A and B are shown apart, each in its own frame.
Chain A
Amino acid sequence: MLTKRIIPCLDIKDGRTVKGTNFVDLRDAGDPVELGALYAKQGADELVFLDITATVEKRKTLVELVRRIAMHVNIPFTVGGGISSVADVNALLENGADKISVNTAAFKNPQLITALANEFGSQCVVLAIDTKKEEDGEWYVYLNGGRTKTDTKAMTWAAQSVELGAGEILLTSMNHDGTKQGFALDITKAMVENLPVPVIASGGGGTMAHFKDVFEKTNVDAALAASIFHFNEICIPDLKAYLEINNILVRK
């Protein structure tokens, strides 16, 4: 049976991890390759590398980094951040990335999703949505790393993107991100039930019980987190053992 997936996310700037870690056994805690390989060894099911490098000239660094990751990491990984063309994606996939994620560029130019799906297949096109629940109780799409509000509802955009060819949704709740108070169960459940593609829940995972809750209550396919893994507040083998005891199917 297909297992639920646990996905650590690494933010990358100029080829280095941004937030730092407190893994004492890493020679270079800022090296995304070393950290990624450690997570793979610990039992992470996939990795997401999110590039927040601002400048175009530095983006060449990302392709080189992807190549090094593919060389040393023996599990699948997704690369996102600033991707806006078929050529960008081709370079990343050719160097060993398994999937790419698009966000703002896809919202501004939805045909990008179709172009990527036609060229490389839907299975490698992840649509990332940053969403926030407003006072009217609705979840809206935010762009540019959460800085720009739109009037589009997250569910509407997600459904449209799947029609266009997105093969997976990476859903980040801005209300929950960084709070360690648990994942956004309502919007996650709505997406899982209404979309024919896998959904990754992101934002708010602070305890092992939060992961159990999101899998049990929403049947989401995967859960993503960053700092709780980087700072070793939750280690992946413990998390998987906990989920298994709670009858959630995970890979061991």
Chain B
Amino acid sequence: MNTVIIKYNAGNIQSVLFALERIGVQAEVTDEKERILRADKVIFPGVGEASSAMKYLKERKLDEVIKGLKQPVLGICLGMQLLCKHSEENDTDCLGIVPVKVKKFPAGKDCKVPQIGWNNIYGLKSPLFKEVPSNSYIYNVHGYYAEKSDHTIATCNYGVEYAAAIVKDNFYGVQFHTEKSSVVGEQILKNFIEL
């Protein structure tokens, strides 16, 4: 089993590496096309801003590499949002793999933006959530969210109901930080590795 984490300008790679280590998976961090194409599993993490991340991916032609992947791919947080069609964050055209729009949370008195903290997910429908009970708590840090759609495989509520996880073909995405979501997050990472 060969797991690759795509290296780019959007943070938190070390935390994802450590989380994988805790479940016994040694992953390789790379931005080399051949290595990414060869991998059995590809993780596309991210903490940062959408337009600068897309610019970086395009400059290195990583956008085309990601779009062409056939093996299971897991986008995490910004990585998930970049799998979508468009983000309101600096009006960014994303990879367009999953036909879903990413919108900004409306700020409210009880819903400060960004959402930071633990929230519950429900409506779980994917092998990605094997042995994950409905209403499990996961850790979130984000100001933008993917709209609910036919591609939603987990739902969360923060003022609005949104897609906490999405799927299209071999592309999976989770909005929350699996690598910081305690045993629930580790189970989801394990499920992805075992897909």
The 3 A-B residue pairs with the shortest CB-CB distance in the complex, in nearest-first order? A251-B137, A251-B118, A76-B180
Which A residue sits closest to B137, measured CB to CB?
A251
**Which of the segments A92-100, A136-144, A183-191 contacts the partner chain?**
A92-100
B contact set with A: CB distance below 8 Å = 11, 14-15, 18-19, 21-22, 47-49, 107, 111-120, 137, 139-141, 143, 157-158, 177, 179-183, 185-186
Q: Are B107 and A198 in contact (CB under 8 A)?
A: no
Which B residue sits closest to A71, measured CB to CB?
B18
A40 cross-chain contacts in B, Cβ below 8 A: 182
Known: A94-B14, A96-B18, A121-B47. 12 other contacts (CB 8 A): A1-B158, A71-B21, A74-B180, A74-B183, A75-B181, A95-B14, A121-B48, A123-B141, A196-B112, A221-B117, A251-B118, A252-B137
B117 cross-chain contacts in A, Cβ below 8 A: 2-3, 5, 45, 198, 221-222
Which A residue sits closest to B143, measured CB to CB?
A123
B177 cross-chain contacts in A, Cβ below 8 A: 76
Q: Are A75 and B139 in contact (CB under 8 A)?
A: yes
B181 cross-chain contacts in A, Cβ below 8 A: 74-75
Interface-centre pick from B15, B118, B120, B143 (highest chain A CB count, 10 A): B118
Question: A193-235: contact bitstring with B at CB < 8 Å (1 yes, 0 no)?
Answer: 0001110000000000000000000000110000000000000
A252 cross-chain contacts in B, Cβ below 8 A: 137
Using known A-B contacts A2-B118, A45-B117, determine if residue A196 contacts B107 with beta carbons closer than 8 Å: yes
Q: In the complex, what distance in Å separates the CA atom of A5 from the CA atom of B140?
A: 13
Q: Are B137 and A167 in contact (CB under 8 A)?
A: no
Q: Does A70 contact B (CB under 8 A)?
A: yes
Measured between C-beta atoms, what is the minimum distance from B37 to chain A in Å? Answer: 27
A contact set with B: CB distance below 8 Å = 1-3, 5, 40, 45, 67, 70-72, 74-76, 93-96, 98, 120-123, 167-168, 196-198, 221-222, 251-252
Q: Are B116 and A123 in contact (CB under 8 A)?
A: yes
Measured between C-beta atoms, what is the minimum distance from A34 to chain B in Å? Answer: 15
Measured between C-beta atoms, what is the minimum distance from A233 to chain B in Å? Answer: 24
Query: What are 13 A-B interface contacts by the 8 Å CB criterion?
Result: A2-B117, A2-B119, A2-B140, A74-B22, A75-B139, A75-B181, A95-B14, A123-B47, A123-B141, A196-B107, A198-B116, A198-B117, A222-B117
B22 cross-chain contacts in A, Cβ below 8 A: 71-72, 74
A123 cross-chain contacts in B, Cβ below 8 A: 47, 114, 116, 141, 143
Using known A-B contacts A2-B117, A45-B118, A197-B112, determine if residue A96 contacts B157 with beta carbons closer than 8 Å: no
Measured between C-beta atoms, what is the minimum distance from A45 to chain B in Å? Answer: 6
Interface-centre pick from B21, B49, B115, B117 (highest chain A CB count, 10 A): B117
Interface-centre pick from A5, A70, A72, A94 (highest chain B CB count, 10 A): A70
Which B residue sits closest to A70, measured CB to CB?
B18
A71 cross-chain contacts in B, Cβ below 8 A: 18, 21-22
Q: Are A1 and B139 in contact (CB under 8 A)?
A: no
Q: Are A3 and B137 in contact (CB under 8 A)?
A: yes
Q: Are B120 and A98 in contact (CB under 8 A)?
A: no
